[in-house]
A and B are shown apart, each in its own frame.
Chain A
Amino acid sequence: MRWAGKDALGAAGVLALLALIPAVTHSDYLIGILTVSLIFGIWAASWDFMSGLTGRENFGHALFIGAGAYTAALLNSKLDLSPWWCLPAGALTAVGFSLIIGFPTLRLRGPYFALAMLAAATIMQRLMRIFWEFTGGEEGIPGLDPLFESHVGTYYFCLFALTVTTAVLLALARSSWGTILRAIRGDEAACQAAGINVTFYKIAALMISAAFAGAGGVLYAHYQEAVTPDVFAVALSITIIIMVYVGGMGSIYGPVAGGIILALLPELLRGLGEYRLWVYSVILMLILFFAPGGLVAPLWRRLTAVAR
């Protein structure tokens, strides 16, 4: 698969749009929620790389996010480590978790792998509450340092991180790596028979997925300037899966768009007061029902196919 000119143009367009936003608005609110949306984009893309390509749905992606976030929080608050060092530290910790949990569980099929990851993430969430002396329990660890003093600075850095994430993952997905991962989804036994070291590729994919998710977790921790056990929650993992789904599984860029859109949606619905989350659920249900292949990626392909 090669880069189509249209795709590159589309990506550049979206990037330019996002980059211009701080220039046209001074709303700290808009910049804030967009920053979070970009981070969700990173998480969605990282999920898609592993689960979208191999078909092994990971219901505990929050495990890696939380690993990154709490590593950053602990290093920053207890050892005064600068947020910039926390980034690689968080990503590495997440990779470590992926190795520990990946080896025993990646050989499992579909719902079993999903459940194992879900269990692992939820166990971490509960452990954060049980060992409250270190982790602050349900109140979490507040008072973290931000990456930049300026909120606009943080926004641009997250945009940069998202761009790098998407570029790297997209490149990998479109290379022979991606082909192999997709082949594994199709028929793992055949791949094994063809001499491919399936285990290596699966673990590597999980590690890469974890690294980016963990990095995103660090960015999130330093944006919020606090972490709580919610960062390991099932709800977060499921939210990300929904984002990927809406964006179009397996396309990497679709989930990025899906992440941004679905992270913004509850905020845009704030005018609905009490009914906000209910309307959000209804919208979700409609999308899930009428667009089972996702919204963004199929739409983009359709648009550009016409012009190809």
Chain B
Amino acid sequence: MRRSLSVCAIAALGLLGGASLALAEEKPIVIGADSPIQVQVGRDTVDTLQMAIDEINAKGGVLGRKLTLAVADETLDPQQGVAAIKKLTGEEHVDVLIGGYSSGVTLAEEPHIADAKTIYLGVGSASPTITDFVGKNYKRFKYIFRVSPPNSTHQGELIEDFVIGKLKGEFGYNTIAIVGENAVWVQGLVPVLKAGVEKAGVKVPMVELFDPDMSDFSPLLSKVKDTGAQYLLILVSHANSDVLVKQWYDAKFPIPMGGIDVKGQDPDFFERIGGKAIGEVVTNGIIPAPITPKTMPFWNAFTERYHRSPVYTAPGAYDALQVYVQAVERAKSTDPEKVIPELEKTNYVGTQGTYVFDKHHDIESGPGKINTLFVQWQEGGKRVVVWPKDVANGKMILPPWISQRAEVIK
């Protein structure tokens, strides 16, 4: 259809003169989504991008050009990830890549993306190593940007904040246990977190890292109980947090729990495990609440179109596309050499907060920028923001069996 239209256009405009100019305007801007489409985060990235593209095209596109989407399944295997990148850059000739989830895959893809001189906006992987490359070899890796979520080191700082401000400050807890999956992002985060909270007078009698494939947490939970900790801080991303939370609930574990639980961010997590997430606090980038004026319109548009709620890569992808589009408009070109300097100047209010890049092309986090919300699952699956104070919209509760015990003791 497009082909025959072009031919007609050429013929028509050729008669009028100025044909070549019109031909150049026809070429669409191709957005490449490289995401693991068998996983929810991947599906949401792709669907969000499609939705965002349709919105932008309806308003006339970018620089008079329409946007189109090309998708390649990067899976969780680095080898397939590299192949996906090559397909998008080498064959579909995309103008920009948006996606990512597993840091191992993204790290393997990086040199290939850089060699293809294509801009990459990461919306899922959180390893700081990804943007370290930009610092070490700017000339080669300047194409790499990380838009969402805050990298794992920053997340550690935000958790430290939560522990000192909320747990110690409001609840008076001064002993916490830290349990996480044995993964590099946790290993980098934990020492910083531990040192930070200990300096503020919170004791950490136990730090345990478990095999991410572990499916029986009872021995671990038992060990935590023996330490006399008052709060259990968890750091879980790929591991089976469904199982951990179910087992925590089933055992009526006497210690409240919360932290980074990527699977616990899913809007249907509570329902999926039969309501057993009650009382769990989970860090989140977005929930259906007006964090910025753009949050609710995005949330509503997504849920209306796809009949499900978005997970964390969705708002990231939505905002990433906007960040790119605005940079392209400022540069008046899609040439990466012109777009990159404009991207570096980004100061954009999206659905999760304000996006500003640091000198390693990593997203800056904290109040006023991209903040991490501490959200608690409460009665009936309701999600309440309990921290930071300035955006909190409810009180943090204790899981029902714990508060009941407290009642009984009183």
Chain A residues with CB below 8 A from B37, complex form: 273-274
Task: State whether A225 touches B111 (Cβ < 8 A).
Answer: yes
Identify 20 new A-B residue pairs, CB closer than 8 A, beyond the known A28-B89, A129-B211, A138-B103.
A27-B91, A28-B116, A29-B87, A29-B89, A32-B90, A33-B83, A36-B83, A129-B183, A137-B184, A138-B238, A139-B185, A140-B108, A142-B111, A143-B111, A224-B82, A226-B107, A230-B104, A267-B87, A270-B73, A274-B37
Of the candidates B80, B89, B90, B107, which one forms a contact with A140 in the assembled complex, judged by CB atoms under 8 Å apart?
A: B107
**Which 5 residue pairs are nearest across A and B when measured between Cβ atoms?**
A28-B90, A29-B90, A137-B184, A142-B107, A226-B108
Task: State whether B83 touches A224 (Cβ < 8 A).
Answer: no
Task: State whether A224 touches B108 (Cβ < 8 A).
Answer: yes
The chain A residues found within 8 Å of chain B, CB to CB, are 27-30, 32-33, 36, 126, 129-130, 132-133, 136-140, 142-143, 146, 224-226, 228, 230, 266-267, 270, 273-274, 276-277
B112 CB–A CB distance under 8 Å: yes
Of the candidates A32, A139, A276, A277, which one forms a contact with B82 in the assembled complex, judged by CB atoms under 8 Å apart?
A: A32
Task: State whether A129 touches B83 (Cβ < 8 A).
Answer: no
Of the candidates A33, A126, A266, which one forms a contact with B211 in the assembled complex, judged by CB atoms under 8 Å apart?
A: A126
Chain B residues with CB below 8 A from A267, complex form: 83, 87
Task: State whether A132 touches B112 (Cβ < 8 A).
Answer: no
Task: State whether B90 touches A142 (Cβ < 8 A).
Answer: no
**Closest Cβ–Cβ distance, residue B131 to chain A (whole Å):** 12
Chain A residues with CB below 8 A from B82, complex form: 32, 224
Interface flags for B92-132 (1: CB within 8 Å of A; 0: not) read: 00000000000110011011100010000000000101000
Contact A228/B78 with A29-B83, A139-B127 known, Cβ cut-off 8 Å: yes
Chain A residues with CB below 8 A from B72, complex form: 270
Task: State whether B112 touches A225 (Cβ < 8 A).
Answer: yes
Q: Which of B38, B77, B110, B111 has the most CB of A within 10 A?
A: B111
Main secondary structure of the interface of B (DSSP, over half): helix
B348 CB–A CB distance under 8 Å: no
Task: State whether A226 touches B78 (Cβ < 8 A).
Answer: yes
Task: State whether B38 touches A274 (Cβ < 8 A).
Answer: yes
Task: State whether A266 touches B80 (Cβ < 8 A).
Answer: yes
Cα distance A277–B37 when bound, in Å? 11
Cα distance A230–B72 when bound, in Å? 20
Contact A28/B108 with A139-B184, A228-B78 known, Cβ cut-off 8 Å: no
Task: State whether A270 touches B108 (Cβ < 8 A).
Answer: no
Cα distance A2–B191 when bound, in Å? 65
Chain B residues with CB below 8 A from A29, complex form: 83, 86-87, 89-91
In this complex, what residue of A is CB-closest to B185? A139
Q: Which of B37, B83, B91 has the most CB of A within 10 A?
A: B83
Chain A residues with CB below 8 A from B222, complex form: none
Chain B residues with CB below 8 A from A146, complex form: 111
Cα distance A139–B238 when bound, in Å? 12
Task: State whether A142 touches B129 (Cβ < 8 A).
Answer: yes
Chain B residues with CB below 8 A from A274, complex form: 37-38, 73
Task: State whether A224 touches B91 (Cβ < 8 A).
Answer: no
B347 CB–A CB distance under 8 Å: no
B71 CB–A CB distance under 8 Å: yes
